[in-house]
């Protein structure tokens, strides 16, 4: 009888020890995983912003979708204008311009990201970012705007639940991580 009580108490101690371990380990695992996934998504969004800026340098506007963005960056050229002559010549007769065309894909290769994978959200299992682009009148000027975003729940995997907000006051899987803004000319991230 004494042996049975000791065995039950030992199992209870082991169970409570396991519960204590899990209660300490869960917030640590969440914060580690959240940091890793957030940084990966932020990095990809910054690559998309760079690609959008390159696209705008070629076309004068932002891409409405990833297919157009990819196609233009693979096939079009940047126009580099070189000014030659004496810049101090007041008549301007000794100054002339030369344009050199450089393939955009060369610049993309130099930066080091894959154009075809820009649309995919890291840790999402193949989900894609939402992308928008348009023009709007901002302070009496017509400006190009763009926005690329995803729900936090799309990339948080097993931590995509509101119950984890007890470990981080700012965490909400229903929030968006994004760059740009469709209501004003801003290409910054919201993190």
pLDDT digit string, tens, across residues 53-101: 989 988 889 999 999 988 988 888 777 777 777 767 777 677 777 777 7
pLDDT digits (tens, 9 = 90+) for 132-148: 999 988 888 889 999 99
pTM higher than the cut 0.85 = no
Nearest to 154 by CA among 53, 44, 70, 52: 44
* Model pLDDT, residue 4: 82
Give the C-alpha separation, 120 to 149, whole Å. 11
φ/ψ of 60, rounded to 5, equals 90, 0
State how far the Cα of 105 lies from the Cα of 85, in Å rounded to an integer: 30
Across 12-162, the runs of DSSP E, i.e. the strands, are 77-84, 96-103, 130-138, 141-151
Sign of the torsion angle spanned by Cα atoms 159, 160, 162, 166: positive
């Amino acid at each position: 009888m004494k042996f049975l009580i000791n065995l039950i108490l030992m199992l209870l101690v082991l169970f409570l020890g396991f519960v204590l371990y899990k209660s300490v380990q869960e917030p640590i695992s969440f914060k580690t995983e959240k940091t890793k996934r957030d940084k990966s998504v932020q990095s990809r969004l910054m690559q998309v912003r760079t690609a959008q800026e390159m696209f705008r340098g070629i076309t004068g506007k932002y891409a409405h979708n990833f297919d157009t963005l990819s196609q233009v960056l693979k096939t079009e050229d940047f126009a580099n204008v070189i000014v030659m002559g004496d810049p101090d010549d007041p008549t301007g007769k000794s100054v002339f311009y030369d344009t050199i065309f450089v393939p955009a894909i060369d610049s993309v290769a130099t930066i080091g990201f894959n154009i075809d994978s820009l649309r995919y959200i890291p840790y999402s299992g193949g989900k894609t970012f939402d992308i928008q682009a348009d023009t709007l009148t901002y302070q009496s000027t017509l400006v190009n705007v763009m926005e690329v975003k995803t729900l936090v729940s799309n990339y948080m995997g097993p931590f995509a639940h509101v119950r984890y907000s007890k470990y981080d006051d700012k965490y909400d899987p229903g929030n968006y991580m994004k760059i740009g803004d469709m209501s004003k000319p801003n290409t910054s991230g919201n993190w």
